[in-house]
């Protein structure tokens, strides 16, 4: 895990300051439609804190969590009044049990080595009945057939898992989220490039 930590520190040191995340408006719209004023939210894998700031602007009490100090330095410089915390890459989240109503993880789950431990931590910090909102690239059969596996699974890339709607639904159910709703977004109907998931913590 030390090597993985070093990888993300180096990545965030090299990324440009004016980086524009992919499908930003789609993801913003999904998040804003799912939150309520006064809720407590965790922006898990917050990067430079853009979504953490969006949550606060929407009336939500937000905490941003990252595994890379380099990302948190940028987040704190851009949003000095917000609460950002460092998490160990292979350890618990820096929040108490049942402390948030919503966990938002956008373009994060595909980077997680130990998905089981990560999902159990998400459940631990959510209140019973709390919502887990996540986005991840879609890797449906038609996309793979047209683009080839190499396009989505580069040997030196940082995507450790490729999700389809079915596989994402199955893993969320397996780790205690129900009901789970997943839809595709971005691109034509059979070639949606993004999965938007809403999963309820069943307690």
> Tokens at residue 143, please?
């996309």
63-77 mean pLDDT: 96
Which residue has tokens 């109907």?
Answer: 189
177: nearest Cα among 66, 103, 67: 103
Question: 156 pLDDT band (50/70/90 cuts)?
Answer: very low
pLDDT at residue 148 above 60? no
The string of pLDDT tens digits covering residues 133-142 is: 999 999 655 5
Is a pLDDT exceeding 60 seen at residue 21?
yes
pLDDT of residue 203: 73
Q: In Å, what is the CA distance from 57 to each residue of 84, 100, 173?
A: 16, 17, 32
DSSP string of the chain, one letter each residue: -HHHHHHHHHHHHHS-TT---TTHHHHHHHHHHH--TT-EEEEET-TTSHHHHHHHHTT-EEEEEES-HHHHHHHHHH-TTSEEEE--TTS--SS-TT-EEEEEEES-GGG-S-HHHHHHHHHHHEEEEEEEEEEEEB--HHHHHHH-HHHH--TT-S----B-HHHHHHHHHHTTEEEEEEEEESSSGGG--EEEEEEEE--
Indicate the pTM of the whole model.
0.89
What is the phi/psi pair of residue 63, to 5°? -125, 130
- Return the pLDDT at 145: 45
Instruction: State the Cα–Cα distance between residues 201 and 13, nearest whole angstrom.
Output: 35
């Amino acid at each position: 895990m030390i090597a993985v930590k070093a990888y993300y520190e180096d990545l965030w040191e090299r990324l440009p300051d004016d980086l524009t995340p992919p499908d930003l408006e789609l993801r913003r719209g999904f998040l804003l439609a799912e939150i309520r004023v006064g809720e407590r939210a965790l922006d898990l894998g917050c990067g430079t804190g853009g979504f953490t700031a969006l949550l606060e602007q929407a009336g939500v009490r937000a905490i941003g969590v990252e595994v890379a100090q380099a990302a948190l330095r940028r987040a704190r410089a851009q949003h000095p009044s917000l609460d950002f915390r460092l998490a160990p890459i292979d350890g618990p989240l820096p929040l108490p049990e049942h402390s948030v109503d919503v966990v938002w993880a956008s373009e994060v789950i595909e980077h997680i080595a130990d998905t089981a431990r990560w999902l159990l931590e998400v459940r631990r910090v959510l209140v019973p009945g709390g919502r887990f909102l996540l986005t991840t690239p879609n890797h449906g059969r038609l996309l793979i057939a047209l683009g080839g596996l190499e396009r989505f699974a580069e040997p030196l890339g940082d995507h450790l898992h490729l999700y389809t709607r079915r596989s994402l639904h199955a893993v969320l159910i397996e780790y205690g989220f129900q009901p789970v709703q997943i839809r595709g977004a971005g691109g034509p109907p059979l070639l949606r490039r993004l999965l938007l998931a809403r999963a309820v913590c069943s307690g």
